[in-house]
Amino acid sequence: MSAARVKQTRVSLLRVGILLVAILVMAAGVRWIMAPGLAVAPTPEASVFAGYVDVTATPTYQFEAPADSPQSNVILAFIVAGKENPCEPTWGTYYSMDAAATQLDLDRRIAQLRSIGGDVSVSFGGQINDELAVVCRNVDALTDAYASVVDRYTLSSIDLDIEGPALADIAALERRAQAIAALQAEAVAGGRELQVWLTLPVATQGLTAEGVAAVEATLAGGVDIAGVNGMTMNFGGSKSAGQSMAGAVEDAASALHRQVVAAYAGRGIGLDGEQAWRKVGITPMIGQNDLPGEVFTLDDAAAVNTFALDNGVGLLSMWSLNRDATCTSPLPKTVPVVQTSCSGIDQDGRSFADVLANGADVAVAEPSASGAAQSQVDPVVVDDPDTSPFPIWDPVGTYPAGTRVVWKREVYRTKYWTSGISPDTPQSTEESPWTLVGPVLPGDKPAPLPTLPANTYPTWKAKSVYNKGQRVQVGRVPYEAKWWTQGQPPGEPVAGGSPWVLVSPG
């Protein structure tokens, strides 16, 4: 995981030069596609599956601990413009990237997923809030904003989810294309790849006129689009009476396929049917859709999976992995109103991700059988307090639910109150009280110690005798005696182990 890019102003002439090089490279590729007598690049046999994850929804979806390979390649949503600074990327306006790192452990969780073979993409935009290009009107600042996200999360693929008023904003479309094209050119010059998927709403007749214009403007701006991902959901009146959701999805995808062929033809690029399908994405909304009468079932998912694999679509996704479960009490299993943490239908123990990803290309992560990731670190690793972002686990410490600790260079979080159980202890019959969050990252520093109001406990005194269980404060930091002690200051390391343990709030 690389550190965030140092903020700087790019030189426009340099950008232009890089962009010209990339255009020449892409032009050569276009001639190669169109030149008679030359073979077209081979098409991968399987579609790629990657599910969306709503990063800011509660309860938090633990994408870093995938239940199986279909959940191992994720698209994290959504980066949008900040409320105070329109050129600042934020997660749903709630968290800056730094805040997401500390409050959501996002950087660490991404590192954890990648460490077991998974990967992430990031989606910009979404239905609510402002996509960056809509309100950040300086192209250099906009390019820096996109780049800061790509660099921080070391992305090789991004998703531009353009819908609502943003879809009709021509100036924003042009700014976005200019900024993204510059980033792609920079990636090409550096020997890297930056795939760009354009996610747009569709009806059964395909893209709206505004959606077609968005594709054309993005291509005209020099962006090498990996594909156009149709939001095959909420069809409303475009879905005929009695038509299944799978049938509506297939009609929408087929119409989108024709529109992709036409859009590229308009740029002088001839795509055959197979090549065009590789540039089509299908993203249904699982279970209950926003429109009351539309429910995407597991049978629909199986039919869409077959359709996607038969045609060789480039991307198969779903909204969202957070929702891929049957609702539980106090909700009934079947709920006619959209929920953020369940599908609204009785899935009978099955997973939409498993059904949609069946036979598709997925990241091969190595999740544990229980669905909770386990540490694979060297058992002799010794933790350094100076580079540990949280207190090091203590065998006689007490840890309320939600407490984070470091153990053998990994960060763990408690699911419920626990004491005496090592975070990396294999659990054969009982669920572990610990969840692996991710590795200690380069540059990590100790987090501030927990504090309590002054005089919550007596102030520690060097001459006083303390027995096991007695609590004291050093300043406002609380400690508890593990055994009889006198004269040993709390919080200071000592050979054989400190007689004091930090009191975790909760």
Q: Which residues have a catalytic role annotated?
A: 163
As beta bridge partners, residue 486 has 465
Residue from 142, 112, 229, 210 nearest 170 by CA? 210
Exposed/middle/buried for residue 226 (C-beta within 10 Å: 0-12, 13-18, 19+): buried
How far, in Å, CA of 387 to CA of 411, rounded?
Answer: 12
Contact of 90 with 80, CB cutoff 8 Å: yes
Q: How far is CA 146 from CA 15, 52, 122, 152, in A?
A: 15, 19, 11, 10
Tell me which long-range contacts 394-400 makes (C-beta under 8 A, separation of at least 24): 394/482, 394/501, 394/502, 395/420, 395/422, 396/420, 396/482, 396/501, 397/501, 397/502, 397/504, 398/480, 398/501, 398/503, 398/504, 399/504, 399/506, 400/504, 400/505, 400/506
Residue type, 307: F
Three-class secondary structure of residue 109 per DSSP: helix
Contact of 173 with 122, CB cutoff 8 Å: no
How far, in Å, CA of 158 to CA of 106, rounded?
Answer: 17
β-strand pairing of 485-486 with 410-414: unpaired
Contact of 404 with 412, CB cutoff 8 Å: yes
As beta bridge partners, residue 480 has 471, 501
Q: How many CB atoms neighbour CB 50 within 10 A?
A: 31
Task: Identify the residue whose tokens are 């005209």.
Answer: 220
- The residue length of the chain stands at 506
* DSSP H/E element including 47: none
Cβ neighbors of 294 (< 8 A, separation 6 or more) are: 233, 234, 235, 239, 245, 288
List strand residue ranges (DSSP E) for 221-279, in order. Answer: 225-232
